[in-house]
Amino acid sequence: MNKEFKKGVIEICVLNFIKEEDRYGYQIVQELDAKFKVKESTIYPILKRLHKDELLSTYLKESISGPARKYYKLTDKGEEKLEELLHGWKDFVQIVNEYLGI
């Protein structure tokens, strides 16, 4: 997948993936690595920014094995943002598809 394409999409995917269920860092990394072949060095900065913009909140939860993990949860603001992004994405794809005659 083209690198430039990925950039904008990942944020939507991360938000959507966390919306389904609260996730911890490695789950998000693994999922996106499997689908889009992006590394943890791309995901963690995005998670950090989303957290800073208060789209995500974090909490620690004990795991069955090993130390506690940091879970990410979508905030209300995050949900609004996701809606907005999904809407924008649909419009964008439609316009591009129409233009390209797909």
Partner 1 sequence: MNNFNSFLRNLEKNLYFFSGEEIEQILLDYKELYNVKLESGKTEQEILKELDSPTQIANNFAKEMNLKTSSVSKMFINTKKTLKKYLNKSSKNYKKIKNNLKIKKQNVRYKGKNFIKNYKENKESKFTKEKKGGNFFFDVIKNIFYFFIFICTLCFKFIRRICSFAVWVSIVVLVLIYILSFVFIEIDFYGFYYRLFETTAIIGYIMCATIIILLLKDKSE
Which range in 13-21, 47-55, 73-81, 86-94 contacts partner 1 by CB under 8 A? Answer: 47-55
Which range in 12-20, 34-42, 77-85, 89-97 contacts partner 1 by CB under 8 A? Answer: 34-42
Contact call for residue 38 and partner 1 (CB under 8 A): no
Q: Is 65 helix (H, G, I), strand (E, B) or coil?
A: coil
Residue 94 CB, shortest distance to partner 1, in Å, is: 28
The whole-angstrom separation of Cα 47 and Cα 55 is: 9
The whole-angstrom separation of Cα 89 and Cα 31 is: 20
Contact call for residue 73 and partner 1 (CB under 8 A): no
Closest CA to 18 of 52, 44, 56, 63: 56
Residues in the chain: 102
| Residues found near partner 1 in the complex (CB under 8 A) | 24-26, 29, 39-42, 44-49, 52, 65-67, 69-70
